[in-house]
Amino acid sequence: MMENDSLVTLFTLSGLNFSLENRIALFVLTLLWYLVILLGNGLLIFTIIIDKTLHEPMYIFLCNLCISGLYGTVGFYPKFLLDLLSSHVISYAGCMLQGFVIHSSTCCDFSILALMAYDRYVAICQPLVYHSVMTKWRVSIFVLFSWILPLYCMAMNSATLVGSRLCGSHINKIYCVNWMIVTLACSPPKANTAVAYFNILFYFGHFLFILWSYVYMIRTCMSSQEDRVKFMQTCLPHFISLIIFATAVLLDLLYMRFGSAGLSQDLNNFMAIEFLLIPPIVNPLVYGFKLTKVRNKILHVICIKKLQRVIS
């Protein structure tokens, strides 16, 4: 397809070597899974936006977490569904765009999870100053930077790959990420390595901050029954979401950097998409069922719609 490094305009994605019947079955299952993700996250976002009683920092951050999850899945599922029914190739520009969307969505998730941990830390450990710390203006700034910084970091990462000479066109993954392009470069750009490791360390710092916040909150809650109840009601869903998301991202990162070629293709595929498969559907389920206020509002919205249908 490509004669030399100067003519690489298309990449071939691996991992979809199934029979037509299996690909159709996988297409149906993936489409249903994606629709559940869209419905779950969309319902949570819609409920938080329309209900003014949910316009509090914790729910605003949760709304942005769901938006980030939908943003990341848009970078994967439509292309993957198309690949199941056609040839699995992607253009150079499309590969760069897909990598940017998936990476930036992951970083946005970490930023928002850090904000949610900080919000719960202030609410539990410094309740008397909560409203003076988490003002509308400050929350707006926090949310803005939780989107701007990841987008900027990933834009810098992608920019370091522009113009790189490539000596191959086969990507051993079912979607594109920047690291796969780096592995195809005739001489991997040093700038990309520096930016990539800076980003990893930067967001690993987010993870350490979240862990520190929870350690501090748990220590605080040990001395108060009221704080323990508050922790279980509002912090436990966040902690579950964090563990699932961090584990999925860590496994994918470790596999992508140090994975073995001897693993089966099915396991390779699962390792590649688990953070796009599990967290986007876990977040609305965990928060929707665990947070009483959100659960009641969602049930209220559903009941109103059913009533309107009966009346009409």
pLDDT, position 2: 41
Token representation of residue 11: 């990449």
178 near 196, Cβ under 8 Å?
Answer: yes
Token representation of residue 7: 């003519």
* pTM of the complete model: 0.85
For the chain, counts of helices (H) and of strands (E): 13, 3
**DSSP letter, residue 223:** T
d(C-alpha 301, C-alpha 190), whole Å: 52
CATH 2.40.50.100 matches 5-311: no
Token representation of residue 140: 């707006």
Average pLDDT, the chain: 81
pLDDT, position 112: 93
C-alpha neighbours within 13 Å on the C-beta side of residue 95: 26
Distance, C-alpha 248 to centroid of its chain: 10
d(C-alpha 217, C-alpha 10), whole Å: 50
* Exposed/middle/buried for residue 21 (C-beta within 10 Å: 0-12, 13-18, 19+): exposed
For the chain, which residues score pLDDT lower than 70? 1-8, 15, 226-227, 230-231, 233-234, 255-265, 288-312
227 near 121, Cβ under 8 Å?
Answer: no
What element of type H or E holds 86?
none
| Domain ranges (residues) in the chain | 5-311
Token representation of residue 178: 């920047």
Q: Map residue 233 onto helix, strand or coil.
A: helix
- What percent of the chain clears pLDDT 90, i.e. is strictly above it? 26
d(C-alpha 308, C-alpha 49), whole Å: 20
Q: Map residue 134 onto helix, strand or coil.
A: coil
